[in-house]
Every structure is written in structure tokens, then in C-alpha cells.
Chain A
């Protein structure tokens, strides 16, 4: 629109003249004209009249044509209106063109130069932005996938898991006994379906080595309960849960891929599992990972569960998981109330097993991500805080820089640069800075997301689906860019306000009082945020140290364990089992590099930790009634187990070769059992009777050994009684060996010895103890690592913030300090002057941060171990640390201030 000559300058006279059209009746025409008239205010004034005239004439002409050609339909009227609406775009376009004359090359070149002149600001500001954007996007992407995105199950909010909770002991939530499951299923009315899952495994010989496939045996309606459709094939039919018809299986997607090469023809065919043909009726979808049964290792095979008669009465051994689908009209709370009442009834009916036990409902979502949810939400808040800090810091730096450039802008203004020109200049500069930061942030977000997935502990469902989240990336980029633009433009507003006056006092009054106060507030906020994050990281660090300090009761270095289960026709008597273990032990002992090999049934820290909870009584004391019977955990061992694991003998004697099947029955007990039942007495020589496997077993206590934390380093030791494996052979055993050198290198040799004795026996689990210990610590290490990383970032940003403000404010006071030195102030006085400012800011930030930390860290409680959220030591250390940073950040400018030459300083004006 550069050529406006010849534009009609009358509002509408020309347009109407001679048209001969009466438009008095046309609403569409009048509306269109009026709309264009209103919109024309957007058009720059120099071309407004011509613009409006062009649109009006086109609209009138179209109307004219419509009347003439008889096309005055409802549709054509609407079309005309719609066309008039387009004038908004046209007008805005002209406005934008006029505002930013798009010839920006000069500005861009100048902006590059000016950013290069201040490399510190450019690098720090863009990397701070990048950190904020990158960290935020990476963590949010993970949280979104794991926590916020709907679960891949139909109506997941109606799915609950039900657990047994011991209200008489530690309130621990645990697996369910089959008898209780059956009672719940029959009596509870809150659910559409209640389904049980039993841990199972199948031996599969179709691969290079005998393999134990992890399996789950599910009761009728399980797949309806979780609402999952198979990827291919079908789920189980009701009749397949009957004895004799249950030889069907579903495969997990991973199992189907790994062992059957994703063969689509497999459906309907048989595979040999446990030596018997079973028909594969379907394959489950890849995202079906319900994390049921012991630690959430992927269950590879799903089979129908046939309930055996004895399970109906089995209430002592809890090893099932239970899921249920709530009826549509029932809430979790209502269902919990029903289950509470049901638990009371069951406790009355079966006091020995069910007193002090309640059924606890846990929503499926909490079950799936409960363990990481707290950590992730803490992280998400941390990330929000980091983004906030990044923006505050960039704002701060830009404000400071703007103030420094006051003089430059005033000069340019005085030389004739218009306000719009200056704004454009600053806009381009800020945009460039934002682009740098966002670009680096993008890269960081990409790598960060990948790193998070790689570093995360195993077994979190859907972790492998985590990818960069576009929405949050956009959000962070917009927030960061907006901050840069907003605060980058502030100097323009202040400088254009001062006009030529700005030039006069440009040397002295750098920055208005408002922006100075704003910068101080920003720094206080930064210190406070850093305080919160550091306190959080400090608490996690202390928890981690506390966990590490917990003595698991055994030494894990140079120990490996190999777990096998010997059942089925080849091992149908205890003698056959004993022969296998004896022969294998014999072979393993001869392996080079293996120092000692033993056997244990309940292997600490292992997934399949065989927990046998038995009632017992002590000879010579009154026999308790069945419901008051004390209980202990029953473990079968050989004496070498204690040597290998370095578990100390505290009293009495160790098991020996003489404690064999024919000899008198002996047991060891652990110190927890000794102190709980024989406090002050010596249990050695006492006799106890345990009730297990439908038999009473009487034995003499010959020794006391140290206790072990079975369920990870954070668990409590439990009472335990050890029977010699020779006297009480058992099928679920773990070989434990201490080795010379790296134990991992001996795992294969150990397996070969097992297969030398029984070529088709599968190995259930094999790992070094250092590996399993590390796996137990992984989630804690993960959250510590992440929050620690964020705390470090926050710490750096806060340090940069304090330094920026103090060094700037010192520069601003050059003249004042010069005068002070001229009238006799000492270097120490000047240092104190500058440092005080820095310390005051930090102290304010620490104060606010303390309050915030106390308020916020209680959300960390779930992640803490042996430390309170308001741990005074952590709070004190972090406060001192931040104060030290403030002093250090203030020291450099303070030292610079003491070197101010009064003569130079006074000449600054």
C-alpha cells in the first residue's frame, strides 16, 4: 500500500454515486460495511481511508452484482459477511507491517554485536533458560506418561487391588491368602468381579537353556476385571477354570516376541510347558503390565487358575494378589467400609489367622505408580520452581543490563532514534537471547528425557513409552521467551520516558528505584526457592545415608545366589529333593574360585523370598490357644549359608554334619526371635514345636544367629527359626556361594553344575548380592540423584542471581563509594558496606525459604527414612551454605569496590 495517490478521499460519496442500488433493506450489506468501518481503526492512519474505501467498494460492487444477477440468496449474503470478516486479517497485517517494518537485518546485526559485547550475560542467561526449559520438559514428560495419562485399561478408576493388612503389627500391606480371597469373592457385594492371581512358573525347554517362565494363574474374570483385550486371540473361557480343561495359556507380548519370534501362527497351537502341551489361546498387548505378584517382574505366561480343595482353608500362607472391579454405583470408600465389616466377621470366624488382619483397598493407579508417584510429584514441583527461578534470574539480568544501557539508549534517543526504533532494537535482542536459550533447552530436554528413562529403576510400567512431550515443551518455551521479551523491553519504557533528561543523569541514576526493588525481590525469591530445593535434596541425602547405614545383617560382597524350585514327578519325595541338592552342592564345591556353598530357602532381598509364617510354642510353657499362638518365619538352611553370608553366631553352636536326618532334631533361631520370646533368658537348650505342613515338628534350639532384613535394607528384621535342610528337605531352595573375585563370573558355572545333575531343571533367579542390593536402593538413588541435580542447578542460579544484583548495585554506587574513600573510609568499611547488602538479601531469602521448606517438605515424608521433614541439621547446613554463597557472591564486587579510585569515581559524572 505504498501508492496511495488517486485514492478517493470521500467517505462513501463516490461509492454510492451512480450505483443505483438501494441497500436500505439489506442487513447483510449494512453489517458488512459497518464491520469494515470498525475494523479500519486497526489500519495505520496514513492509509486508513483508502483501505476502507477499497473494502467498501468491493462489498458494494459484490452486492450490486448479486442484485443484478438475481443471486441474492441467503447463502450469498452469508458469503459476503464472511468475506467482510477477512478484513480483520488484512487490517492486522497492515498494522504489523507498519509497526515492525520487516527490514530487520540492521537490528539483528546490531543485536548480535550487543550480545557479543556482554558474553557473560548472554551465556548465563541463555543457559539458565535452557536449564529451566530442558529440565522441566524432561521431568514433565516422564510424569505425564506415568502419572497423568490414562491407564491402558478400560475404566481404570473402577479397578482396585485388595491386600491383607496387619493392624496388630506394623500395618504392612501384603499378599492375600487364597482362603481369604475366596471368602471375599463370595461375600463382598461392592464389586462386579473379584479375581485372584497366584504366582506360578512354567518350565520351558524350547530355548537354548531350560528356562523358567514367570507365570500367573488367574481366577475366572481376571481379564474382565482389569478390562484388557488380548492383542490376538481370546482370553479364558469360564469352563477353562475347571480341572482337566485348563491346559490353555495366554502369552505376554514380551514372551511371545522373545521365545516365539512374534509368530502369528502360534495362536491355537500347543507349546510344551512343564512337560505338558498347552494351547496358546492369545497374546496380551505390550502395555499390559499390571505389576502384580512380587515386585512387578513381567509375568510371561498367564494361565487359568483351578482352585484346589485345600486352598479353600488356606488362610495362613499369603501369596496371592487380588484385583476387583467396583460396581458402577460404589465408591472406593464404600467398598472399603464393606471390606472392613467383612474382615471383622472373618476375624471372628478364624481368629488364629485373621485376627488383626483387615482387607485394604488400593486403587489400581496407586498400586501401579504409588511407589514412584510421590517422587515424581516432588520432582515436578522442583521443576516448576526451577523454571520460575530461571525466569526470575533472566529477568534480573536483563533488568540490570537494561539499567546499564540507560546511557546508551539515551544517547541514541537524543541522536534521533525514535521510541519504536529503540523498542524494536531491544525486542530483537531479547528475541535472540530467548532463541539461544530455547534452542539449547530443546536439546537439553531431548537428552534429559532419554537420560531419565535410562537411569530410572527397572519395573516401572510404561517407562519405555516416555517421550518428549510437545505440550510442556511449548509451554516452557513460551514462558521463558515471554520472560526474556518482557524484561528485555523494560529499559525501553524507562528510557523513552526520560527522553533527553535521561542523557543528563544517565551516568548516575542507572535504573529506576522500582526496577532495583524488583531485582532485589527476585533475588530473595531465588534464594528462597534454592533453599526449598536444597533442603529437599538434603533430606533425601540423609535418608539415603541412613538406609546405607542400616546393617542388612549380612555381607553382600563376593556372594552370588542361584534359586531353583524342585517339584513335579521327578521330585515327589523329600528324599529325591535331598539327593539333588546334595549332589549339586558337591559339584559346586569343587568349582575353582568358589570358596563356600550353602543352601537357604528364604533368600534375603530376592524376588521370590519364600516366606513361611508358622505358629509355634515353647516346651515347658503353657501351650497357647490357637488364636494366641506366637508366630515365626521358618527357613531351611545348611550351615554354610551363615558362613557365606557372614551372619554371626551369637550363642550356642552352629549346625554341623551330625545334624542329619537320622539325628536328633535341632534348630537355630535368630536374635529377634530370641529377644522377643526369651528376653533375659538363654534360649539355647530350650525345645520348641512348630506347626507346619500338617505336621508338628519338635526340635531343640542349639544356637542363636544374627538377624537379617529380608525385604530390603529398609525393612525390619523378623523372628526366624532355621531347620537344617538335611532334617527338613524342601523344594524351593537357593544356592548361595562366596567366591574369590567377581561373583558374577561364576553364575554360569554354578548353573552348569545344576544342569549336570538335572539337565531339564530351570533356574528361577540368579544374581550377585551386590546386584540385588543395588536394585533395592535404585528408586531411592534415582530420586536423590534427580532432586540433587535440581538442587545444584537452583544453587547455581541463586548464586548467579545474588552476584548479579550485588555487583550491579556496587557499580551503581561507584561514585558514592569513591566519596566515602575520599573522606577516609577504609577497605574493610567498604567491604562491609557491600557484603551487608548481599547478606541481607540472602538472609531474607533464607527466612522465606525456611518457612516454605517447613511447609513443603512434609510432602516428602513418603521418601524419607529415619529423618523428619524438619530435620534441624539439614535446615541449618543449607542455611549456612546459602549464606556462604551470598558472601562469596558479594565478595568479588566488594573487593572491586575497595579498589575504586576516588578521582576516577568522581569523574564518572
Chain B
């Protein structure tokens, strides 16, 4: 599939353990109208898997249920390939990380 720069950014954010839609926006700086269609697309292409997190997990963290996205093996491979093309990615994500802390990885139900 064609890997645009924003798509690569989203994959990179996922690889850096940003697993939720809004967190990915924070990490990448991309607007919601860009991030969600990308998520839909890479979901169709099986580059990520998505599921609803378990109620227990949400309950423990005292917050609403969220939809959880995770890179698949195919997604990780593709990201590794494209990272060589977009050098700047290495700089963006660590910088963005200073702004917001990634959430803990949820317990798989």
C-alpha cells in the first residue's frame, strides 16, 4: 500500500505506544480529520488491530472505555521499511512525547 508521510507518522506513534485516537493526534500533531481516516485505512489493511479495551481496565483507571489500536506484525514491518525514507520521524516523536505521557498498555482481556 501507498505510505504517505502522515500515515507513517501514525504508524510511528503507534509503535511508540500511543494506542488511542486522541493520543495519536497529540503525538503526531495531525488533526482528527487526518488521523481517523488513516486509522480506518490501516485497520482495513490489517496494519493495526483494534478492539475495545476491557471494562475492568477502564474501571480501574477511572475513565471511559476507549478503542485501542495496536500495530500488527505487518504494520511493524512496513514502518521499519518506511522509517529509512522519512528520517525526520526520529525527531518528531520524542519531541512530542514531552507534551503528553503515553498511557499504560491495557491488560488484554
The reply to whether the CB of B74 lies closer than 8 angstroms to some CB of chain A is no
- Does the CB pair B40–A61 fall under 8 Å? no
* CB closest chain-A residue, reference B50: A3
> Given A3-B50, A8-B52, are A14 and B64 neighbors across the interface (CB < 8 Å)?
yes
Contact stretch, chosen from B2-10, B17-25, B87-95: B17-25
- Give complex CA distance A56, B21 in Å: 11
* CB closest chain-A residue, reference B67: A54
> A81-124: contact bitstring with B at CB < 8 Å (1 yes, 0 no)?
01111111110011001000000000000000000000000000
- Does the CB pair A57–B44 fall under 8 Å? no
Interface size on B, residues (CB 8 A): 27
The reply to whether the CB of B76 lies closer than 8 angstroms to some CB of chain A is no
- Give complex CA distance A54, B68 in Å: 10
- Does the CB pair B40–A1 fall under 8 Å? yes
- Does the CB pair A88–B33 fall under 8 Å? yes
Contact among B36, B55, B67 with A90 in the assembled complex (CB-CB below 8 Å): B36
Contact among B22, B62, B65 with A62 in the assembled complex (CB-CB below 8 Å): B22
Contact among B34, B64, B65 with A64 in the assembled complex (CB-CB below 8 Å): B64
A285 to chain B, nearest CB (A): 42
- Give complex CA distance A223, B22 in Å: 62
The reply to whether the CB of A16 lies closer than 8 angstroms to some CB of chain B is yes
- Does the CB pair A6–B52 fall under 8 Å? yes
Does more than half of chain A's interface fall in helix, strand or loop, or is it mixed? helix
- Does the CB pair B36–A57 fall under 8 Å? no
> B5-46: contact bitstring with A at CB < 8 Å (1 yes, 0 no)?
000000000000000111001000001111111001001100
Contact among A6, A61, A89 with B63 in the assembled complex (CB-CB below 8 Å): A61
- Does the CB pair A83–B51 fall under 8 Å? no
- Give complex CA distance A6, B51 in Å: 7
The reply to whether the CB of B97 lies closer than 8 angstroms to some CB of chain A is no
- Give complex CA distance A17, B40 in Å: 27
A77 to chain B, nearest CB (A): 14
Output the residue of B59, B62, B63 with the most chain A CB within 10 A.
B63
Residues of A within 8 A of B44 (CB): 1-2, 97
* CB closest chain-A residue, reference B109: A6
The reply to whether the CB of A15 lies closer than 8 angstroms to some CB of chain B is yes
A714 to chain B, nearest CB (A): 63
- Give complex CA distance A84, B22 in Å: 10
> Given A2-B44, A8-B65, A83-B32, are A58 and B52 neighbors across the interface (CB < 8 Å)?
no
The reply to whether the CB of A622 lies closer than 8 angstroms to some CB of chain B is no
- Does the CB pair A18–B62 fall under 8 Å? yes
Residues of A within 8 A of B66 (CB): 54, 57-58, 61
- Give complex CA distance A8, B55 in Å: 10
Output the residue of B52, B65, B66 with the most chain A CB within 10 A.
B65
> A44-68: contact bitstring with B at CB < 8 Å (1 yes, 0 no)?
0000000001101110111010000
The reply to whether the CB of B58 lies closer than 8 angstroms to some CB of chain A is yes
Contact among A16, A20, A85, A94 with B33 in the assembled complex (CB-CB below 8 Å): A85
Interface size on A, residues (CB 8 A): 35
Residues of A within 8 A of B25 (CB): 83
> Given A61-B22, A62-B22, A86-B33, are A19 and B64 neighbors across the interface (CB < 8 Å)?
yes
Residues of B within 8 A of A18 (CB): 58-59, 62-64
The reply to whether the CB of A7 lies closer than 8 angstroms to some CB of chain B is yes
Contact among A2, A6, A16, A83 with B64 in the assembled complex (CB-CB below 8 Å): A16
Residues of B within 8 A of A86 (CB): 31-36
Cβ < 8 Å to B, chain A residues 808-838: none
Contact among B33, B50, B51, B67 with A89 in the assembled complex (CB-CB below 8 Å): B33
> Given A1-B40, A1-B43, A58-B20, are A90 and B32 neighbors across the interface (CB < 8 Å)?
yes
- Give complex CA distance A93, B50 in Å: 18
- Does the CB pair A15–B64 fall under 8 Å? yes
- Give complex CA distance A84, B31 in Å: 10
> Given A7-B52, A93-B40, A94-B40, are A84 and B32 neighbors across the interface (CB < 8 Å)?
yes
- Give complex CA distance A903, B77 in Å: 69
- Does the CB pair B64–A57 fall under 8 Å? yes
- Give complex CA distance A531, B65 in Å: 71
- Does the CB pair B33–A64 fall under 8 Å? no
- Give complex CA distance A6, B55 in Å: 11
Contact among B31, B50, B62 with A19 in the assembled complex (CB-CB below 8 Å): B62
- Does the CB pair A61–B43 fall under 8 Å? no
A31 to chain B, nearest CB (A): 15
Residues of A within 8 A of B22 (CB): 58, 61-62, 83
Residues of B within 8 A of A94 (CB): 40
* CB closest chain-B residue, reference A65: B63
- Does the CB pair B63–A64 fall under 8 Å? yes
- Give complex CA distance A16, B62 in Å: 10
Residues of B within 8 A of A7 (CB): 52
- Does the CB pair A60–B64 fall under 8 Å? yes
- Does the CB pair A14–B55 fall under 8 Å? yes
* CB closest chain-A residue, reference B52: A6
- Give complex CA distance A271, B91 in Å: 62
- Does the CB pair B64–A61 fall under 8 Å? yes
- Does the CB pair A58–B65 fall under 8 Å? no
Residues of A within 8 A of B64 (CB): 14-16, 18-19, 56-57, 60-61, 64
B97 to chain A, nearest CB (A): 16
Output the residue of B22, B34, B43, B62 with the most chain A CB within 10 A.
B22
B70 to chain A, nearest CB (A): 12
- Does the CB pair B36–A87 fall under 8 Å? yes
- Does the CB pair B40–A97 fall under 8 Å? yes
Contact among B33, B34, B59, B65 with A57 in the assembled complex (CB-CB below 8 Å): B65
* CB closest chain-B residue, reference A69: B100
* CB closest chain-B residue, reference A54: B67
Residues of A within 8 A of B67 (CB): 53-54, 57-58
Residues of A within 8 A of B59 (CB): 17-18
* CB closest chain-A residue, reference B20: A58
* CB closest chain-B residue, reference A16: B64
- Give complex CA distance A712, B20 in Å: 81
A-B contact pairs, 21 of them (CB 8 A): A2-B43, A3-B43, A3-B50, A3-B51, A14-B55, A14-B58, A15-B64, A17-B59, A18-B63, A19-B62, A19-B63, A54-B21, A57-B65, A57-B66, A58-B22, A61-B63, A64-B64, A85-B32, A86-B31, A86-B36, A88-B33
Task: Give me 16 other A-B pairs in contact (C-beta within 8 A), A3-B43, A87-B32 excluded.
Answer: A1-B40, A1-B43, A6-B51, A18-B64, A54-B21, A54-B66, A57-B64, A58-B21, A61-B22, A61-B64, A83-B31, A86-B34, A86-B35, A88-B33, A89-B34, A90-B32
Q: Residues on B close to A: CB < 8 A?
A: 20-22, 25, 31-37, 40, 43-44, 49-52, 55, 58-59, 62-67
Closest 8 CB pairs of A and B: A86-B32, A89-B33, A86-B33, A90-B36, A15-B64, A93-B37, A57-B64, A83-B32
